[in-house]
Amino acid sequence: MEPFTNNVIDLSTLPRFETVAFEKLKPSYWKVVLINQFIVALIFAAALGVIYFLVPEFRPHVVYPAIGLVVLIVLIVVFSRIAFVKKGFAFREQDVLFRDGIIATNTTIIPYNRVQHVALHEGWLSRYYGLATVEIFTAGGSSSDIKIPGIEKEQAENIKQLLMGKIQQQL
């Protein structure tokens, strides 16, 4: 039996995830995001129109909610664009990395030996653009730990096969 040791680790020798070149989401995924936001904005505008026609007392004051709706839509589009630009993913020999965030940048790192399940999803609009979302699950949770949207379907299937192979190696 080896004697117990608990030496200090030199933090400067640890690998740096900040130096990893993250792959960006496909530009066509931005179109998917914009179309989804347009649909939601259309629903809110229609609700505002219905209220305008059904509530006569509301008509003189409709300009304020309309301006608020336009400002809200612009803010959502701007923040969505910032989030889209910041998202990225990378696969290394031992782990998968996903970066996202709007104000603060978050990087999630999952070692392959923690991956329990991988799912591939295509929404109706993403399917039209040939895109998919890869969801990576680890033990102990019912929701995915990483959800990587906006990947070309063929690349997403390759990623799923890579991860499934890593899971099989663990067994």
Q: Which of 83, 105, 124 is the last residue of a domain?
A: 83
Closest by CA position to 35, among listed 131, 99, 104, 106: 131
Specify whether 113 is located in the same domain as 63. no
Specify whether 74 is located in the same domain as 108. no
Task: Examine residue 117 and state whether it is found in any structural domain, yes or no.
Answer: yes
Task: Examine residue 17 and state whether it is found in any structural domain, yes or no.
Answer: no
Task: Examine residue 19 and state whether it is found in any structural domain, yes or no.
Answer: no
User: What's the domain range around 165?
Assistant: 89-170
Specify whether 110 is located in the same domain as 62. no
| Interval 107-155: pLDDT, tens | 999 998 888 889 999 999 999 999 999 999 988 766 778 999 999 999 9
pLDDT at 12 over 70: yes
Specify whether 110 is located in the same domain as 155. yes
Specify whether 129 is located in the same domain as 163. yes
Region 76-89 average pLDDT: 96
Task: Examine residue 41 and state whether it is found in any structural domain, yes or no.
Answer: yes
Specify whether 75 is located in the same domain as 112. no
Specify whether 55 is located in the same domain as 111. no
User: Domain total for the chain?
Assistant: 2
Task: Examine residue 48 and state whether it is found in any structural domain, yes or no.
Answer: yes
Closest by CA position to 106, among listed 91, 89, 93: 89
Closest by CA position to 99, among listed 112, 90, 91: 90
Kindly state the tokens that stand for 93. Answer: 């020999």
Specify whether 72 is located in the same domain as 110. no
Q: In whole angstroms, what is the distance from residue 19 CA to residue 148 CA? A: 20
Task: Examine residue 7 and state whether it is found in any structural domain, yes or no.
Answer: no
Specify whether 65 is located in the same domain as 138. no
Specify whether 58 is located in the same domain as 76. yes
The domain that holds 100 is classified in CATH as 2.30.29
Task: Examine residue 20 and state whether it is found in any structural domain, yes or no.
Answer: no
What's the pTM value of the predicted model, to 2 decimals?
0.82
Task: Examine residue 6 and state whether it is found in any structural domain, yes or no.
Answer: no
pLDDT at 168 over 90: no
pLDDT > 70 fraction of the chain, expressed in percent and rounded:
98
Q: In whole angstroms, what is the distance from residue 2 CA to residue 158 CA? A: 43
